[in-house]
Amino acid sequence: MTLIYKICDTAMWREAEQLGVFTGAEIDIQDGYIHFSTAAQLAETARKHFHGRKDLVLVTIDSTALDIKWEPSRGGDLFPHLYTDLPVDAAVSVTAMPCDADGMPVPEGGFPAV
């Protein structure tokens, strides 16, 4: 199982659960694909794009059955992208991401091991 991660608003994910698919956040829709991170990229993604944001969840995804494209992005690192809706049944877990004292969203239990 290859795990990838998506940080999103709790309400957005709850809506996806009702629909059965996650169509993406505003940035995903603008870019034409759903952005994900690997375990190694996750803390920097949280810091860069979600600092100070509350009511977030970390969705852990089993990417095995998905048509993930690995494409260069920040610093030339390969990031996982999905060019279609994400079926919510690909989610392995959904974890709250409260902010720490510095405003950094951190998953309950900490970031996944690299």
Cβ count within 10 A of residue 28:
19
Instruction: Find the farthest-apart pair of alpha carbons in the chain and give their distance in angstroms, rounded.
Output: 38
Q: What is the pLDDT of residues 17-41, one digit of tens each?
A: 999 999 999 999 999 999 999 999 9
Q: Please give the Cα distance from 108 to 69 (Å, whole number).
A: 28
Taking the domains of the chain in order of start, what are their residue ranges? 3-96
Q: Which CATH architecture describes the domain 3-96?
A: Alpha-Beta Barrel (3.20)
Q: Please give the Cα distance from 105 to 103 (Å, whole number).
A: 6
Q: What is the pLDDT of residues 98-108, one digit of tens each?
A: 999 999 999 99
Is the pTM for the entire model greater than 0.75?
yes
Residue 74 has pLDDT above 90, yes or no: no
Residue 68 pLDDT grade (very low, low, confident, very high; cuts 50, 70, 90): very high
